[in-house]
Amino acid sequence: MFYLVSTSPRRKKILKSLRIRFRALTPGYEEKNSSKSTPSGLVKKHALAKARSVLEKITAGTVLAADTIVYFRRKIIGKPKSMKEAARILARLQGNWHTVYTGVAIFKIRKGRVGKKVIYCEKTKVHLEKMTRRDILAYFKRVDPLDKAGAYAIQSKRSAIVDSVKGSLSNAVGLPLESFKKYLSMIK
């Protein structure tokens, strides 16, 4: 059995596109963005803690957990807590390059014990188009920013605020497909 430790609809959609049958579990871990952590260290720490939070429920199978943040001007940006915060985040990011980091933890469980495991981080550079305050508010009428790191949805056709991407687009969505497939085959 394959377990996705996430409530992210985007990660669920990615796994479905790979035709992976999975059971989604809600992580029993509260993310805290520490300014003392590096972006890659933070997302790996979160992914690992999310995966560990469900281990007592699983006796056999593969566990996948991930965490995504945006990093801009030496600041870690997670999911906004309000529409006002989302507007502030997009006002800062508009017209600029930023980096999206996703940490991934994959565990192989046998007889209730962790066998093989892989924990890694992938990063992608993203440039958003220039936007006025009015553009940002209009964008929020099309896309809910509250459950997305950086307050935007790169995968949404209604989004159309991303100018350019350097690196894995699926990483910026929340799960780096290319490296995920490679590491998944290594732990089977």
pLDDT of residue 187: 85
Q: Any idea which residues carry the catalytic annotation?
A: 67
pLDDT of residue 32: 76
Provide the CATH number for the domain formed by 2-187 in this structure: 3.90.950.10
Give strand pairing partners of 4: 24, 64
pTM (2 d.p.) = 0.92
Q: Residue ranges of the chain with pLDDT lower than 50?
A: none
Please report, for the chain, the start and end positions of each structural domain, with discontinuous segments joined by +. 2-187
pLDDT of residue 33: 72
Strand intervals (E) in 57-186: 61-72, 75-77, 97-110, 113-128, 162-166
pLDDT of residue 35: 64
pLDDT of residue 147: 86
| Residue 84: partners with Cβ closer than 8 Å, 6 or more residues away | none
Integer angstrom CA distances of residue 46 from 65, 89, 166: 9, 22, 24
pLDDT of residue 128: 95
